[in-house]
Amino acid sequence: MPTFDVVSEVDLHEVSNAVDQTRREVESRFDFRGIDARVALNDDEVKLTAQSDFQVDQLLDILRTKLAKRGVDIGILEVGEAEPSGKTVSRTVKIRQGIDSLLAKKIVKMIKDEKLKVQAAIQGEKIRVSGKKRDDLQAAIAFLKDSDIDMPLQFNNFRD
């Protein structure tokens, strides 16, 4: 019986490279000269720190550009609120990875409501979709790609 997995994974090495490129660009840009602007990566979150909201927003824009150039979907970013602290403003950007249980239930319900000839089962942070025909699975992939899910999805482990 053909199957495939629906996952949401991020290459953290590419994220690390994008953060390093952002840091280098900030050091060389004229509008950040003499300003204490920092970009730090800690596990699955990036902390942006500068002297004003506008500069933090510029740091975020640079980071998004670098991630997009490296092939990382910027839909994985969950941008937090700006937090003023004395003379600096910081913003935490979380990197979402994996499909949480609420989103997984929503995806399974969407597949069932579409009346596709496939079965979907939640397995941890991924969803296993199985069906009798390869065409049914391809229709499920096309449906999920066209749906309005706010998390970037990948489809892997396709088996015939």
Domain locations in the chain? 3-8+99-159, 12-95
Given pLDDT bands bounded at 50, 70 and 90, which one contains residue 1? confident
The reply to whether domains 3-8+99-159 and 12-95 share a CATH topology is yes
pLDDT confidence band for 93 (50 / 70 / 90) = very high
The string of pLDDT tens digits covering residues 46-83 is: 999 999 899 999 999 999 999 999 999 888 899 999 89
CA-based diameter of the chain, in Å?
63
User: What 3-state class would DSSP assign to 129?
Assistant: strand
Interatomic CA distance for residues 109 and 45, integer angstroms: 30
* pLDDT tens figures, 27-47: 998 988 888 899 999 988 999
**Domain 3-8+99-159 of CATH type 3.30.70.860:** yes
Length of the chain: 160
- The C-alpha angle with vertex 154 and arms to 148 and 155, in degrees rounded to 5, equals 110
Average pLDDT over residues 3-31: 91
CATH architecture of 12-95: 2-Layer Sandwich (3.30)
Examine the pLDDT at 125 and tell me if it is beyond 90.
Answer: no
